[in-house]
Structure formats: C-alpha cells, structure tokens
C-alpha cells in the first residue's frame, strides 16, 4: 500500500510533461488528473482524425469523447502489455468504431429494406383481404368487389399501403407508432385519416358505376362503419339509386 502511494506521488506532479507510457502508468494508478491529461493530450488529434473520416461536424465531439473514454477504461483495467504508440492505438480504435457503426447501420438498413419489400408485396393482397372481410362470400371476391379493391389501392403511396397492411392485420397502434416514429396519438389520427380517404375513394368509385354493380356495392358499403361525411354521402347515393323504383 505504501509503495502504491509513493508511486502515485511520483506521477502526480508531472503529468503534462510525462511521456505516453508514463501517462499510462499514471492512469493505471487511477489518477484522475492523469485521465484529464489523457483527454487533453489526445482529443485534438482524434478530432482531426474524425474530420478526415468525414464524420458529420455535429457528431465529432461525442464520437471522440466516447472513444477516449472506452480506451481509457480498457487501458486501466487490462493486464495486457500497453500499446507501443498511444496515438496510433487511439486512431485505430476510432477508425474501427466508425467502421463498425457504418456496418451496423448498413445491416439495419438492409433489414428494414427487406421487411419493407416483403410488406409491399403483401400490401395488394392485404387490401383485397380487407375489402373481403364483409363480402357476402369470403371464399372469393365478386368482380365488382375486385374492381373496388383496385380503386382503393391505386391512390395509395407505399407508406400508406404498409399502414393499411398493419391495420388490416390488427397490429397494435403503439407498434405502428414505433414503426412510423411518431406518438401513438399521432398514429391514431393518421389511421383515421387513411380510413376516411379509403371511404371517400370507395364512394367515388361507387359514383362511377351503375345498375347491379352499384346495388351490390351499396349493400357491401352499407355494412361498414363510415365517418359522418362519407356516411351522409352514401345515404345520398342510396337515395338516388332507389328513387326510380318508387
């Protein structure tokens, strides 16, 4: 114990002037001022290395500080021989950290892209299934309902198609919010807006058809729970269709 205190006194007063190996010895004595000197000495060089690696200016400080902290902990706690050159060791550590982060982001992007592609492939089927829920015969859609499903799908962008898939598969709203990166309340509003857009698209399609096809779609849409605006519009279309029969 006395030997450790003597060693600490020897290194405590000469941190700024000591070489890298002596500074490392001070770090391993858990000298807090040596740790501050470690950051002060090597931080400027690592910031320059971060700029050379084209790290965004707003991310450089955090990246360098994390790298210095992790290396300091490793050097203090490891029993391995110290690196021959601390600047070179730190530069390699920073470069490896950047490369590992880039690889992790690339893997995550590929995974999300693959999931999005799979969901997009399922979107058309899911929309047809969603229309078929209330169909008179669930085994197959009639030609009129197939045309309705196509009309509902056509105006949707990729993200809205994915949202329609999630809703039709009864995915919880908090999970949808997580995927979209918004709050559950915002997700609920977005889902409601999408439903109303689909209802309006269905009614616009209904206005373009007549005869038996219109009567079939009126019956089908009459089973749905519509928003007030679309519901009133449907009632008006039903009245126009039934008026000649009176």
- 135-189 residue pLDDT tens: 444 446 788 888 888 888 877 787 787 787 777 777 788 888 877 778 888 888 8
Residue 158 covered by a domain? yes
Considering 14-23, 112-121, 137-146, 193-202, the range whose residues carry the highest mean pLDDT is: 193-202
> How many structural domains does the chain have?
2
* Residue 170 lies in domain: 107-245
Query: Are residues 225 and 117 part of one domain?
Result: yes
Query: Are residues 151 and 46 part of one domain?
Result: no
Query: Are residues 235 and 127 part of one domain?
Result: yes
The pTM assigned to this predicted structure is 0.42
Query: Are residues 221 and 113 part of one domain?
Result: yes
Residue 102 covered by a domain? no
Evaluated on CA atoms 76, 81, 85, 87, the torsion sign reads negative
Residue 97 covered by a domain? no
Query: Are residues 240 and 160 part of one domain?
Result: yes
């Amino acid at each position: 114990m006395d030997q450790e205190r003597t060693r600490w006194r020897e290194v405590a007063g000469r941190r700024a002037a000591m070489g890298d190996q002596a500074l490392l010895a001070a770090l391993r004595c858990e000298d807090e001022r040596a740790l501050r000197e470690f950051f002060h000495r090597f931080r400027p060089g690592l910031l320059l290395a971060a700029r050379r690696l084209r790290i965004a200016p707003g991310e450089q400080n955090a990246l360098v500080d994390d790298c210095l902290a992790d290396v300091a902990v490793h050097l203090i706690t490891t029993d391995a021989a110290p690196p021959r050159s601390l600047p070179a060791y730190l530069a390699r550590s920073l470069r490896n950290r950047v490369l590992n982060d880039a690889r992790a982001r690339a893997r995550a992007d590929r995974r999300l892209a693959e999931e999005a592609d799979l969901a997009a492939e399922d979107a058309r089927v899911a929309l047809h299934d969603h229309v078929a829920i209330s169909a008179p015969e669930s085994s197959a859609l009639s030609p009129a309902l197939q045309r309705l499903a196509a009309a509902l799908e056509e105006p949707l962008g990729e993200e809205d198609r994915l949202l329609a898939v999630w809703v039709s598969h009864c995915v919880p709203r908090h999970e949808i919010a997580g995927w979209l990166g918004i709050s559950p309340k915002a997700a609920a509003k977005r889902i409601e807006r999408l439903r109303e857009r689909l209802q309006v698209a269905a009614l616009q399609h209904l206005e373009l058809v007549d005869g038996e096809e219109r009567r079939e779609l009126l019956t089908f849409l009459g089973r749905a729970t519509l928003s007030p605006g679309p519901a009133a519009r449907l009632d008006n279309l039903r009245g126009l269709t039934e008026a000649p029969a009176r």
